[in-house]
Amino acid sequence: MESNERRVTYLNAGHTVKSWLLTVDHKRICILYMISITVMFVIGGLMASAIRAELLTPAGDLLSSDTYNKAFTLHGIVMVFFFLIPSIPATMGNFLIPLMIGAKDVAFPKINLLSWYVYLTGATIALVATATGGLDTGWTLYTPYSTAYATTNVVLPATGIFITGFSSILTGFNFIVTIHKMRAPGLTWFRLPLFIWAMYATSLVMVLGTPVVAITILMAILDRCGFGIFDPTAGGDPVLFQHLFWFYSHPAVYIMILPAMGVISEIIPAFTRKKIFGYGFIAASSLAIAIIGFLVWGHHLFTTTQSMYAAVVFSVLTFAVAVPSAVKTFNWAATLYKGSVSFESPMIFALGFMGLFLIGGLTGLFLAILGLDMHVQDTYFVVAHFHYIMVGGAIMGYMGGLHYWWPKISGRIYPELPAKAAALLIFVGFNGTFFPQFIAGYLGMPRRYHYYPPEYQVLNVLSTMGAGILAVGYMLPFFYFMWSLRHGEEAGKNPWGVLGLEWTLDSPPHPHNFHETPIITSEPYDYPEMAREFGEHAGHGTVEAAHV
Amino acid sequence: MSDVAIPAVPESRLQSHFANEQQQYETATFGMWVFLVTEIMFFGGLFTAYLFYRIQYADAFVHASHHLDIVLGTFNTVVLIGSSLTMAMAVHSARMSRSKSIAFWIAATMLLGSIFLGVKAYEYTHKWHEGLFPANFFYSAPDAAQQRIYFSLYFAMTGLHATHMVIGMGIMVIIAWQALKGAYTSRWYTPVEIMGLYWHFVDLVWIFLFPLLYLIGRH
């Protein structure tokens, strides 16, 4: 495999700053995004640390209430709009979609680069707004507080979010067209890896939802500048803002979780060396989540003036959207059955995902119950629930995917032991942070206050301790990934010995990915049925590399 | 395929990540349709807000609508439909490989677009002086507050529409320039065609805006 002549890869194809900033190579754009979202993750994480430190004691002693409001608003905005939404799609989606479908690039490489610049512009504006006064409305920007009463910046950060929305639209648009038009010969829809199905469903949500939140935020900006669309003092209706906002912002949760589900659907068959159970159901459930996900936004408005009949319908639909999620979870579990399971670090993240997503999903059903929601609305129960989905689900998926494809992206092997340690620390730290919040919320602790009655202190101390462990878990990968770039072993084409078109390429891949267009003749995850044939003697890690 | 009859594609037209020109063409047009779907959703938010308040404040919206000049509105509608025709002529010229004719029809489209925007600017100034601009609202009537919601939506919707026209006309300058340099022939004129799709979409938005804003309660 080793040759004396230096192989051209996308990483060494150019070394100038210009070759990176003006690149149209989807793999380099993945790296650009990866660096940017990591910076945003650190900023969002620092804000989370400030919040958790403040909540160690019942008194508001570390931050003033104003600063606290700004801290959780910045945490929310940065994590949702600038980290989670672009996380898997803009990095792994960008890197892998062309590789998995046998294309040389995405459909519109220049628009792909443009999306990163749009993202960067929006992020810069939002951060400038933070540095010059902040924003204290919460990430939801609810009117009329945001339009009439907030004394902080509103127009500037809202403009940042508005602009960043377009980077998401451009990414989703690019992926849809790419998946439709750029597939290699023979790669029919039902031969696509499930990651592609997940990215397709995600892109649909991005393309159909993001424009709506963009126009909604634009209307709020106009209101802030003197228009009166949502102004209740002149007959405007703030609940209309909430409807329009959640029409996107609920599906946005699926923008975060669907890609993670796609990643898990790749990792599970890889480390069980087994054909995935229920391929068609997993593929279809991604689309079902995308579609039903658009019809559940009203469950954020159960305590508003929304009519009771609408609330009942939204409650039922919210139960319905849990079905395709459950379909996926059962299929992953069924794939493990009699598989040749091995516990490399990506697999540990994937199993962690399954556990955390299960808890997050089931507590979502609690919240879909109209009566119970009255009790826990705006408490830490809700905070814990959506963190189980967005952190326990989406970030576990991001981490799992990063560990799984890092050898392909960087061409290097990272040390396995610290990676396993990181996976376990994140799992333990995450539960430590957020499980107590379920209890605190159920007991009635409201969210978004920087002080609280002393009886909640034990739970809050537990939560802050968990956050400390979680922070260590999140920092570890940074060090061993950076270490691997210099000192890691060369990965070779297929370090895991798994199937998949991307693993037939060099690591890191050539700038044009494929020297000749591949022709696909088989379904994905076509592992020999070892478990059944060899019973308990089935080995692992010995499957011959993919010959697609 | 039929690569015998068709002259060779200039190297620069086929981008390296496409297998052939057919794929490149299909990708571009499909992409434009997906983009237009995002545009529908973008305007959709405003139309939803309009619908909601139109039902809630039906009378105030009728009153507010009477402040608009129906003659100017109708004139602008005709102008804009005319510009769709000239745009279609530009695409047709491209199909016929007539470079100068493409530039001429695009220029005509831009002229009509400018007339539309000029009339719109006149209407805006008029509303400003009447005190109907929501941020500078001093019109008094029993239902003035609700009328202000109407004008908030009026300015947001027509303003967003006008912004789309300005962007479109900016791109037209580039396309007309390229056309004069002979960039488009019957063999390849995807940008002209995509420009046409965009412009027709923008016109179509107006076809909805005109009755919703100008013609309420005038039957």
Distance (Å, whole) CA A206 – CA A197 = 14
Tokens 């494809």, located at residue = A405
Tokens of A469: 């462990």
Nearest of A398, A354, A352 to residue A90 by alpha carbon: A398
Contact A341, A272 (CB under 8 A): yes
Interchain proximity B44–A212, CB inside 8 Å: yes
Q: Chain A within 8 Å of B128 (Cβ-Cβ)?
A: no
B161 within a domain of the structure (yes/no): yes
Is B118 in CB contact (< 8 Å) with chain A?
Answer: no
- Residue A332's contacts (CB-CB under 8 Å, 6 or more residues apart) are A264, A265, A268, A277, A354
Q: How many CB pairs under 8 A join A and B?
A: 106
**What secondary structure letter does DSSP report for A545?**
P
Closest chain B C-alpha to A149 CA, distance in angstroms: 16
Domain span at residue B199? 35-214
Q: Is B163 on the interface with A (CB under 8 A)?
A: no
The pLDDT score that the predictor gives to residue B19 is: 87
For residue B2, is it within any domain? no
Give the residue among A364, A356, A354, A348 at the shortest CA–CA distance from A330: A354
Task: Give yes or no for a contact between A255 and A89, defined as CB atoms under 8 angstroms apart.
Answer: yes
Q: Residues 144-173, chain A: which have Cβ within 8 Å of B?
A: 169, 173
Contacts with B26 from chain A: Cβ below 8 Å: 181
Residue B33 forms contact with A (CB below 8 Å): no
For every residue of B119-161, which 3-state class applies, written as one string?
HHHHHHHHHHHHCCCHHHCCCCCCCHHHHHHHHHHHHHHHHHH
**What pLDDT is attached to residue A538?**
39
Axis crossing angle, helix A238-272 with helix A345-368, rounded to the nearest 10: 150
- Looking at the structure of chain B, the number of domains it has is 1
**8 Å CB contact between A436 and A21:** no
| Alpha carbons A260 and A195: distance in angstroms, whole number | 9
Residue B62 lies in a domain: yes
Residue B20: inside a domain: no
Q: What is the CATH number of the domain that holds B149?
A: 1.20.120.80
Strand-pairing partners, residue A379, are: A446
Q: How far apart are CA A116 and CA A110, in angstroms?
A: 10
Nearest Cα to A112, choosing from A198, A31, A233, A194?
A31
Tokens 């902080």 belong to A152
**B117 at A interface, C-beta within 8 A:** no
User: Does any CB of chain B come closer than 8 Å to the CB of residue A395?
Assistant: no
**Rounded distance between C-alpha atoms, residue A510 and residue A11, angstroms:** 9
DSSP designation for A192: S
ipTM of the complex: 0.92
CA–CA min distance A207, chain B (Å): 6
B107/chain A closest Cα distance in angstroms: 27
Query: What residues of chain A score a pLDDT lower than 70?
Result: 1-5, 529-548
CA-based nearest residue in chain A for residue B155? A227
Residue B13 in any domain: the answer is no
A209 interface with B at CB cutoff 8 Å: yes
CA distance A231 to B101: 51
pLDDT at A209: 96
Per CB-CB distance under 8 Å, the chain A contacts of B43 are 215
Residue B114 lies in a domain: yes
d(CA A342, CA A344): 6
* Residue B18, domain member (yes or no): no
d(CA A82, CA A87): 8
* Amino acid at the residue B198: Y
- CA B114/CA B137 separation, integer angstroms: 28
CB-count exposure of residue A519 (10 Å: 0-12, 13-18, 19+):
exposed
Helix (H, G, I), strand (E, B) or coil at A322: helix
Tokens 């730290």, residue?
A429
- pLDDT lower than 50: segments of chain B: 1-9
Beta carbons within 10 angstroms of residue A211's beta carbon: 24
How far is residue A529's CA from residue A276's CA, in Å, rounded to a whole number?
11
pLDDT of residue A5: 63
**Alpha carbon A231 to chain centroid, angstroms:** 34
Question: What spatial distance separates the first Cα and last Cα of chain A, rounded to whole Å?
Answer: 19
| Size of chain B, expressed as the number of residues it contains | 219
Task: Give one DSSP letter per residue of A430-490, joined into a string.
Answer: HHHHHHHHHHHHHTTPBSS-S---GGGHHHHHHHHHHHHHHHHHHHHHHHHHHHHHHHSPB
Torsion (CA) A437, A443, A445, A447 in degrees, nearest 10: 50
pLDDT of res. A387: 97
In B57-143, which ranges are continuous DSSP H helix?
Answer: 58-65, 70-95, 99-130
Q: Which residues pair with B185 in a beta bridge?
A: B188
How many C-beta atoms surround the C-beta of residue A436 within 10 A? 22
Q: Say if A207 is an interface residue toward chain B (CB within 8 Å).
A: yes
Among all residues of chain A, which has the CA nearest to that of B135?
A226
Q: Which of A218, A223, A240 sits opposite B52 (nearest CB)?
A: A240
* Burial grade of A1 (CB within 10 A; 0-12, 13-18, 19 or more): exposed
Alpha helices in A78-154 (DSSP H): 85-88, 94-101, 109-131
Task: With beta carbons under 8 A apart, name residues in chain B contacting A177.
Answer: 27, 30-31, 34
CA distance A384 to A388: 6
Using alpha carbons, select from B55, B58, B54 the residue that is nearest to residue B209.
Answer: B54
Nearest chain B residue to A225 by CA distance is B135
Using left for φ > 0, alpha for ψ between -120 and 50, and beta otherwise, residue A278 falls in left
* CB of B25 less than 8 A from some CB of A: no
* Cβ proximity of A271 and A347 under 8 Å: yes
Q: How far apart are CA A527 and CA A41, in angstroms?
A: 37
Summarize pLDDT for A63-88 with one digit per residue, the tens.
Answer: 999 999 999 999 999 999 999 999 99
In sequence order, what are the residues at sequence separation of 6 or more whose Cβ sits closer than 8 angstroms to the Cβ of residue A41? A79, A83, A474
Residue to mutate among B39, B61, B149, B150, with most A CBs inside 10 A, is B149
Given a contact cutoff of 8 angstroms between Cβ atoms, the answer to whether A74 and A47 are in contact is yes
Q: Does B186 contact A at CB distance below 8 Å?
A: no
B interface mutation test: which of A162, A175, A177 has the most B CBs within 10 A? Answer: A177
Task: List, in order of start, the domains of chain A with CATH numbers.
Answer: 24-537 (1.20.210.10)
The SS3 call for residue B188 is strand
Which amino acid, one-letter code, is at B11?
E
Q: What is the CA radius of gyration of chain B?
A: 21
Measured between alpha carbons, how far is B23 from B104 in angstroms, rounded to an integer?
30
**Under 8 Å CB-to-CB from A220, ≥6 apart: which residues?**
A141, A143, A146, A147, A154, A158, A230, A241
Nearest chain B residue to A240 by CA distance is B49
B-chain residue closest to A211, CA distance: B42
* A232 Cβ contact partners less than 8 Å away, ≥ 6 residues apart: A144, A238
Residues A176, B146: C-beta atoms closer than 8 Å: no
For residue B42, tell me if it sits in a domain: yes
Query: Is A228 close to B155, i.e. CB distance below 8 A?
Result: no
* Contact between chains at A208 and B41 (C-beta distance less than 8 A): yes
Quick one: how far is CA A342 from the chain centroid? 25
Cα A246 to Cα A74, A151, A213, A524: the distances in Å are 19, 24, 8, 36
Indicate the residue of B30, B52, B153 with minimum beta-carbon distance to A177.
B30
A370: how many CB neighbours lie within 10 A of its CB? 15
Dist CA A196 CA A352 (whole Å)? 22
Cβ within 8 Å of residue A101, ≥6 positions away: A178, A179, A182, A183, A184, A187, A192, A196, A501
CA distance A61 to chain B (A): 41
Degrees to nearest 5, angle at CA A170 with A167 and A174: 140
**CB–CB contact A234 B48 (8 Å):** no
d(C-alpha A202, C-alpha B34), whole Å: 14
Compute the half-sphere exposure of residue B142: CA atoms within 13 Å on the CB side of its CA. Answer: 4
Question: How many residues make up chain A in this entry?
Answer: 548
